[in-house]
């Protein structure tokens, strides 16, 4: 891209009086600013860029070429499951019959859309081994909060409001303690053993000390190191015996999909990240979807709306098709938050991100019962292949089989001073998205690689070769790696400056 010609910002291309639009001739000009109260009107014109249409098109086309997505190349971002987003999902979500729906239209007029919604709820319940799902939450972290609210409501209903502690392993994703805190619960950290699994002796000690105050334990399995927790059945039993519930962070469900179910491991509440496990696009802030499932006996705490299937009318009643209904909950006497009975009320707007759900459901149907079981084993095979082929150059802190992702602790050879950050930046020069770095926090130089089940052996081999090349460069020319990237539109940025003094608008940048 020619930056001097096209400029960095649309504001820099602005020339007073240039226009890139024309209003339709029948444009209704009756709505003028005169209808706005004086106090709300601008006193001077907004400082908007003034550009012709071709300049605008070139500017944004060039910007889009700087983007990197799964469709551009290998994207091994650990814990994020950046799998391929099949095109058929997009086609279905774009169908006018779905995309043109209004969330308030009567249920009789959108039975097909409600059927999809209902079927997705049922499919997720079957895959998770749980009783019922809400599709309302809009992301994994939102699901965590919703799930913890369900757990809190459960303890309140049992007259145990003093159960306010949430046990969370120190390997957990940062959203786990954050969600617990937002829910008004208190986080208690459970230590991990050197192999990354839960220190059960520490858990025992915590339960002995404060068991009657424990609301829940949150777990990710396989955990954020890609390790399956071998003592999971014992752990869920211990927490249940102490009166707490088990929450399953489903971000790593891809490793187990269709093979092994959180409900069967003893979990009571979980979320699923549709934008990870179920192939819907993510990155750049969404949209996502974080459905929450519960085991039998907790359904009444789930939020509204709920989509239900009525028994199909009998032949004598003259119909055959089932009827799908929406329950938005009753408006409570004290407010209009939709809270009714024991339900949480509503946690999001209307039905949640319906387009994301359509894509996830299309993915489930494309795989079917038979192929869904191949996802976890293939993702696991790919991760272990990478692990075995990179372990001579990259430090492997945990031996043995991993699940769908592998964590290295930087380069084996620490004498060069080349860090995980440097390796990640150098990968950009070779046209790869960087793996997740410096997470999990258990190691100093975490480099977390998740290939997913989609990648061919050729793609993975090419990536492995580049990782070996970078390890060799770190020895022969460490400066080259430490100053990377060299081939990207922008070189090494100052992360600290960017975080401490962010310049978020063009006008602000002129002041600085
Ligand atoms: C991604 C992730 C989350 C949070 O999910 P979002 O959809 O990004 O909010 C939680 N836990 C783990 C382990 C994750 O990888």
* pLDDT (mean) for 163-168: 98
Q: Does ligand 1 lie within 6 Å of residue 171's CB atom?
A: no
Q: Does ligand 1 lie within 6 Å of residue 290's CB atom?
A: yes
Give the residue, out of 78, 79, 140, 285, with the most ligand 1 atoms within 8 A of its beta carbon, to mutate for a pocket test.
140
Higher pLDDT: 237 or 495? It is: 237
Supply 181's token pair.
């805190």
Dist. CA 22 → ligand 1 center (Å): 44
* pLDDT (mean) for 174-196: 96
Q: What is the mean pLDDT of the chain?
A: 91
pTM: 0.90
* pLDDT (mean) for 126-152: 97
* pLDDT (mean) for 161-184: 96
**Residue 37: φ, ψ to 5°:** -60, 145
Q: What is the CATH number of domain 370-498?
A: 3.90.1150.10
Dist. CA 463 → ligand 1 center (Å): 25
Q: Considering just the CA atoms, what is the radius of gyration of the chain in Å?
A: 26
Nearest CA to ligand 1 atom 6: 140
So what's the pLDDT on residue 512? Answer: 58
Q: Name the region of 281 (left: φ>0; alpha: ψ -120 to 50; beta: rest).
A: beta
Give 201-222 as a DSSP string: HHHHHHHHHHGGGEEEEEEESS
User: Is-contact 162 327, C-beta < 8 A?
Assistant: no
Strands 436-437 and 245-249: unpaired
To the nearest whole percent, how much of the chain has pLDDT over 70?
93
- How far apart are the C-alpha atoms of 219 and 262, rounded to whole Å? 10
Q: Is 50 exceeded by the pLDDT of residue 340?
A: no
286-310 pLDDT per residue, tens: 689 999 999 999 999 999 999 999 8
Beta bridge partners of 448: 407, 436
Strands 132-134 and 292-294: antiparallel
So what's the pLDDT on residue 7? Answer: 56
Higher pLDDT: 321 or 44? It is: 44
Q: Is 80 exceeded by the pLDDT of residue 33?
A: no
Q: Which helix (H) or strand (E) holds 407?
A: strand 406-409
So what's the pLDDT on residue 285? Answer: 64
Dist. CA 144 → ligand 1 center (Å): 9
Query: Nearest to residue 346, comparing CAs of 142, 140, 114?
Result: 142
Q: Is 80 exceeded by the pLDDT of residue 8?
A: no
- How far apart are the C-alpha atoms of 164 and 207, rounded to whole Å? 13
Confidence of residue 331 (pLDDT cuts 50, 70, 90): very low
Q: Is 70 exceeded by the pLDDT of residue 1?
A: no
So what's the pLDDT on residue 402? Answer: 96
Q: Is 60 exceeded by the pLDDT of residue 495?
A: yes
364-407 pLDDT per residue, tens: 999 999 999 999 999 999 999 999 999 999 999 999 999 999 99
Q: Where are the alpha helices (DSSP H) in 293-415?
A: 354-390
Q: Is 80 exceeded by the pLDDT of residue 509?
A: no
Q: Is 80 exceeded by the pLDDT of residue 34?
A: no
Atom nearest to 144 CA in ligand 1: 10
Q: Is 80 exceeded by the pLDDT of residue 164?
A: yes
Q: Is 90 exceeded by the pLDDT of residue 320?
A: no
Q: What is the DSSP letter of 383?
A: H
- Domain chopping of the chain, boundaries: 3-65, 370-498
Atom nearest to 224 CA in ligand 1: 13
Dist. CA 275 → ligand 1 center (Å): 10
* pLDDT (mean) for 311-322: 72
Atom nearest to 175 CA in ligand 1: 10
So what's the pLDDT on residue 336? Answer: 46
So what's the pLDDT on residue 472? Answer: 98
So what's the pLDDT on residue 456? Answer: 97
247-279 pLDDT per residue, tens: 999 999 999 998 899 999 999 999 999 999 999
Q: Is 50 exceeded by the pLDDT of residue 334?
A: no
Supply 260's token pair.
């092994």
Q: Is 90 exceeded by the pLDDT of residue 217?
A: yes
* pLDDT (mean) for 442-459: 97
88-103 pLDDT per residue, tens: 999 999 999 999 999 8
Confidence of residue 30 (pLDDT cuts 50, 70, 90): low
Confidence of residue 41 (pLDDT cuts 50, 70, 90): confident
So what's the pLDDT on residue 338? Answer: 44
Dist. CA 141 → ligand 1 center (Å): 6
């Amino acid at each position: 891209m020619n930056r001097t010609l096209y400029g960095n910002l649309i504001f820099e291309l602005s020339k007073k009086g240039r226009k890139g639009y024309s209003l339709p001739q029948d444009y209704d000009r009756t709505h003028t600013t005169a209808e706005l109260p004086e106090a709300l009107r601008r006193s001077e014109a907004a400082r908007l860029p003034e550009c012709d249409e071709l300049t605008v098109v070139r500017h944004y086309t060039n910007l889009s070429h700087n983007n990197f997505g799964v469709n551009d190349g290998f994207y091994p971002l650990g814990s994020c499951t950046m799998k391929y987003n099949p095109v058929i999902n997009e086609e279905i979500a774009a169908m006018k019959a779905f995309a043109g729906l209004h969330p308030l239209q009567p249920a009789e007029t959108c039975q097909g859309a409600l059927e999809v919604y209902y079927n997705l709820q049922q499919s997720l319940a079957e895959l998770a081994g749980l009783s019922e799902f809400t599709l309302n939450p809009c992301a994994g972290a939102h699901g965590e909060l919703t799930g913890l609210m369900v757990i809190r409501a459960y303890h309140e209903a049992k007259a145990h409001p003093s159960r306010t502690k949430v046990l969370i392993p120190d390997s957990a994703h940062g959203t786990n303690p954050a969600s617990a805190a937002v829910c008004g619960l208190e986080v208690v950290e459970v230590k991990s053993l050197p192999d990354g699994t839960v220190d059960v002796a520490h858990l025992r000690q915590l339960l002995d000390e404060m068991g009657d105050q424990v609301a829940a334990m949150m777990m990710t399995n396989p955990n954020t190191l890609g390790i399956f927790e071998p003592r999971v059945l014992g752990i869920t039993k211990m927490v249940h015996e102490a009166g707490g519930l088990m929450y399953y962070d489903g971000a790593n469900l891809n490793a187990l999909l269709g093979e092994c179910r959180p409900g069967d491991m003893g979990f009571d509440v979980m979320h699923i990240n549709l934008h990870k496990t179920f192939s819907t696009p993510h990155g750049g802030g969404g949209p996502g979807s974080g459905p929450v499932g519960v085991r039998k006996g907790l359904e009444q705490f789930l939020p509204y709306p709920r989509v239900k299937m009525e028994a199909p009318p009998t032949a004598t009643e003259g119909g055959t098709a089932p009827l799908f209904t929406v329950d938005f909950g009753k408006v409570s006497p004290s407010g209009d938050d939709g809270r009714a009975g024991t339900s949480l009320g509503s946690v999001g707007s209307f039905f949640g991100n319906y387009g994301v759900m359509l894509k996830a459901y299309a993915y489930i149907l494309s795989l079917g019962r038979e192929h869904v079981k191949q996802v976890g084993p293939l993702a696991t095979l790919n991760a272990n292949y990478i692990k075995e082929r990179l372990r001579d150059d990259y430090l492997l802190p945990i031996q043995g089989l991993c699940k769908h992702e592998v964590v290295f602790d930087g380069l084996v050879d620490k004498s060069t001073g080349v860090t995980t950050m440097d390796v990640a930046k150098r990968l950009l020069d070779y046209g790869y998205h960087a793996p997740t770095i410096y997470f999990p926090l258990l190691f100093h130089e975490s480099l977390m690689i998740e290939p997913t089940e989609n990648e061919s052996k050729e793609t993975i081999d090419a990536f492995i070769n580049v990782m070996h090349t970078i390890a060799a460069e770190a020895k022969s020319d460490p400066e080259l790696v430490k100053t990377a990237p060299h081939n990207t539109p922008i070189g090494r940025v100052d992360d600290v400056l960017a975080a401490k003094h962010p310049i978020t608008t063009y006008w602000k940048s002129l002041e600085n």
